[in-house]
A and B are shown apart, each in its own frame.
Chain A
Amino acid sequence: MKVLVGIKRVVDHNVRVRAKADGSGADIASAKMSINPFDEHAVEEAVRLKEAGVATEVVVVTAGAANAQDVLRHALALGADRAILVETTDHLNSLASAKVLREIAKREAPQLILIGKQAIDDDAAEVGQMLAALLNVGQATFASTIKIANGKAEVTREIDGGQETVELTLPAVITADLRLNDPRYIKLPNMMMAKKKPLETIAIADLQLNTVSKVATINVAEPPARAVGKMLNSVEELIEVLQAQVKVN
């Protein structure tokens, strides 16, 4: 079974992102970039499926600029076998990202596609569901456990107030939640090995997709700051605040 994993290069989760002064976007020119955290869990899961003998090959793909090679190498160091960069300098919207992944899925014919449940830049959480629709296959979003057997995936997903388990006929798309696994720590020899693994580049133009978005960002701004709060001096003062603010049972 081949597993395809979609990954995205995003601003590192420790960076506090600010708006550009003119409101045209996020000021990320010099920000530290990383693999999207959810995608790291997706790669880890795919590698574990391979280690368990369930998967035979793990292929990672990203759509992005040439410098997105770094997150592909990161995924290769985690244990992926091969990487594909769909090169574009355009900012792809969700539907365009899903269409790119669909084209790669058509070429690679994976039995399973794993991606992150959301990218921490736009926090959209759309691409997986869109991809599943475009491929007319089943979807399991926000996955915390995946079991593959007999051409089916049994997936436990995080839903409001609890969990739900669904069974999908493969091929299918699964989006990873943070609880799916703990990504391994990458050791230096794996980094070195990753440099030698194949990384193919495809120009986005070769996919002949319309990636123009009808959703335009007209302004990006920081939310208004909260007024400075009051520091209390004692537990008693806090109790008074609570008694004034909350109806106690």
Chain B
Amino acid sequence: MSVLLIAEFDQQSLKAATRSAITAATQLGGDLDVLVIGHNVNAIAQQVAKVQGVTRVLVADDAAYAKPLAENFAPLVQGIAARYSHILAAASSFGKNLVPRVAALLDVDMVSEVTKIIDASTYVRPLYAGNLNATVQTSEVIKLLTVRPTGFTAAKDGEQAAPIEAIATLGDQSLSRFVSENIQVSERPELGTASVIVTGGRSLGSAEKFEALMSPLANKLNAAIGATRAAVDAGFAPNEWQVGQTGTVVAPDVYIAIGVSGAAQHIAGMKESRLIIAINQDPDAQIFQWSDYGLVADLFDAVPKISAAL
């Protein structure tokens, strides 16, 4: 049995989500090959080689792979798939875009957003905005999965470096073209991997008030800032801050929900947090049912006091 994992990285480094997926992959058993697809990715391949649990690094280096277009990546993965019992990636926007395309090329059904591996063919995944967990078993010859990073700890670097091997590339499939990207650079920790997150809801009232109240608190706590969909839709916070069923799924050590009602679609994205603290002026707010500590208070009064005291 051999497992193939598709790595995700930015210009500098391997994504933390991929390290979590490596941990999941090692739970499946067997050898673990990690595939690095990109252009001028030598340094990334070296980083991957050091990660504990990796047997071998495969590198597909081609100018056509400079940007992660699923149309170009998928045939490459398809081409080497027959050697593997499992092919997986993190359930990030990268993995979710790519793995189903590979699955269809291989004519197999996949399992998305795996949160737990029971054995090599049995997994747990959420349904209905996390209201239910399904245990599914697949009898496909090649099992394709995306794994939710919050379900698995990030694999650390080990003592030894795995061998690196170049593989043949297939070039541009001419179905799509990268135009541009707009990635927010921030001094703050990344939302998906931050150990503390402070999240604001619609009740913050405006982008200015969101910034004025949330930033000082986030700075004191070295926290990432999250937002509800209602806050994002109202234009108080950028979309990439959205936590939930359709936003980022997070599981920090501490999650602080401020003026958040606790709709199921929001809870779906944060209920695995180790400690949840909520401030809401409504004692019956749903969020309190999910909180370890709750405070009934007006956030415009409480939050500045907290920021000042810390």
**B112–A164 contact, CB under 8 A?**
no
Q: Which residues of A contact B210 (CB under 8 A)?
A: none
Are B277 and A139 in contact (CB-based, < 8 A)?
no
- Give the interface of A toward B (CB within 8 A): 11, 13, 16-19, 26, 93-96, 98, 117-118, 120-134, 136-142, 144, 154, 157-169, 172, 177-179, 213-223, 226-227, 229-232, 234-239, 241-243, 245-249
Given A17-B131, A139-B101, A158 and B239 contact (CB-CB distance below 8 Å): yes
Contact B131 A230 (CB under 8 A): no
Q: Are B190 and A161 in contact (CB under 8 A)?
A: yes
The interface bits of chain B over 230-242 (1 if a CB of A lies within 8 angstroms of the residue's CB, else 0) are 0001000001100
> B103-111, B150-158, B159-167: which one contacts chain A?
B103-111
Note all chain B residues with C-beta closer than 8 A to A142.
Answer: 93, 97
CB pair A220–B132 under 8 Å, yes or no, is: yes
Contact A93 B221 (CB under 8 A): no
In B179-223, the 8 Å CB interface with A consists of 179-184, 190-192, 196, 219-222
Q: Which residue of the partner chain, among B92, B97, B180, B290, contacts A165 with CB atoms under 8 Å? A: B180
Report the bound CA distance from A245 to B253 in whole Å: 9
B17 to chain A, nearest CB (A): 8
B222 and A249 contact, CB distance less than 8 A: yes
- A94 contact from B109, B180, B294, Cβ within 8 A: B109
Report B234 CB to chain A, min CB distance, Å: 12
Measured between beta carbons, the chain A residues less than 8 angstroms from B107 are 95
Taking CB atoms, residues of chain A closer than 8 Å to B277 are 238, 241-242
Q: Which residue of A lies closest to B106 (CB)?
A: A133
Q: Are B221 and A249 in contact (CB under 8 A)?
A: yes
**A165:B181 contact, CB within 8 angstroms:** yes
Which residue of the partner chain, among A117, A130, A161, A179, contacts B104 with CB atoms under 8 Å?
A130
B133-A221 in contact (CB<8A): yes
A220/B179 in contact, CB under 8 A:
no
Q: Are A159 and B93 neighbours in the complex by a CB distance under 8 Å? A: yes
Is the pair A230, B179 in contact by a Cβ cutoff of 8 Å?
no
Partner of B137, one of A18, A216, A249: A216
Q: A235-B295, A245-B275 are in contact. List 15 more A-B contacts (CB 8 A).
A: A123-B127, A129-B70, A130-B104, A137-B175, A159-B93, A162-B240, A168-B175, A215-B139, A219-B135, A229-B288, A229-B290, A232-B293, A235-B297, A238-B277, A242-B256
The residue on A at minimum CB distance from B10 is A161
Q: Does B296 contact A (CB under 8 A)?
A: yes
Of the listed residues A117, A223, A236, the one surrounded by the most CB atoms of chain B closer than 10 A to its CB is A223
Q: How far is the CB of B198 from chain A (nearest CB, A)?
A: 10
In this complex, the member of B92, B100, B192, B289 whose beta carbon has the largest number of chain A beta carbons within 10 angstroms is B100
User: Which residues of chain B come closer than 8 Å to A243, judged between CB atoms?
Assistant: 310
CB pair B134 A219 closer than 8 Å: yes
Asked if residues A26 and B132 are in contact (CB atoms below 8 Å), the reply is yes
Give B216 Cβ to nearest chain A Cβ, in Å: 11
Q: Are B296 and A231 in contact (CB under 8 A)?
A: yes
B11 contacts partner chain A, Cβ-Cβ < 8 Å? no
Asked if B101 and A165 make an inter-chain contact with CB atoms under 8 angstroms apart, the answer reads no
CB proximity of B255 to chain A, nearest CB, Å: 11
Across-interface contacts of A131 in B (CB, < 8 A): 104
Q: How far is the CA of A230 from the CA of B216 in the complex (A)?
A: 26
- Asked if B1 lies at the interface with its beta carbon under 8 angstroms from chain A, I say no
Q: If A130-B104, A219-B135, A232-B293 touch, does A249 touch B220 (CB 8 Å cutoff)?
A: yes
Contact B248 A129 (CB under 8 A): no
C-alpha spacing A177/B242, complex, angstroms: 13
- 16 cross-chain CB contacts under 8 A: A26-B127, A122-B127, A123-B113, A123-B129, A127-B100, A160-B240, A163-B239, A166-B176, A166-B178, A167-B177, A178-B229, A214-B138, A218-B136, A219-B134, A226-B271, A247-B222
Distance A107 CA – B104 CA, assembled complex (angstroms): 20
B55 at the interface (CB under 8 A from A): no
Is residue B62 within 8 Å, beta carbon to beta carbon, of the partner chain?
no
Q: Are B109 and A19 in contact (CB under 8 A)?
A: no
State in angstroms the CA–CA spacing of A49 and B220 once bound together.
Answer: 47
Q: What residue of chain B has the Cβ atom nearest to residue A178's Cβ?
A: B246
Q: List B contacts of A178 (CB < 8 A).
A: 229, 246
Q: Which residues of A contact B183 (CB under 8 A)?
A: 161-162
In whole angstroms, what is the CA distance A140 to B110 when docked?
Answer: 20
Instruction: Report chain B residues within 8 Å CB of A157.
Output: 93
Report B-chain residues with C-beta under 8 Å of the C-beta of A118. 246
Picked from B127, B130, B192, B305, the residue with its CB within 8 Å of the CB of A220 is B127
Contact A125 B112 (CB under 8 A): yes
Residues of B within 8 A of A123 (CB): 112-113, 126-129, 245
Contact call A133/B140, Cβ cutoff below 8 A? no
**Cα distance, A17 to B268, chains bound together (Å):** 13
Contacts of B178 in A (CB 8 A): 164-166
CB distance from A46 to the nearest CB of B (A): 20
B71 within 8 A of A: yes
**A133 engages B112 (CB within 8 Å):** no
Contacts A95-B107, A229-B288 known; A217 to B293 CB distance under 8 Å?
A: no
**Can you name the residue of chain A whose Cβ is closest to the Cβ of B223?**
A246
Instruction: Tell yes or no: B82 within 8 A of A by CB.
Output: no
- Which residue of A159, A166, A214, A229 contacts B69 across the interface (Cβ within 8 Å)? A166
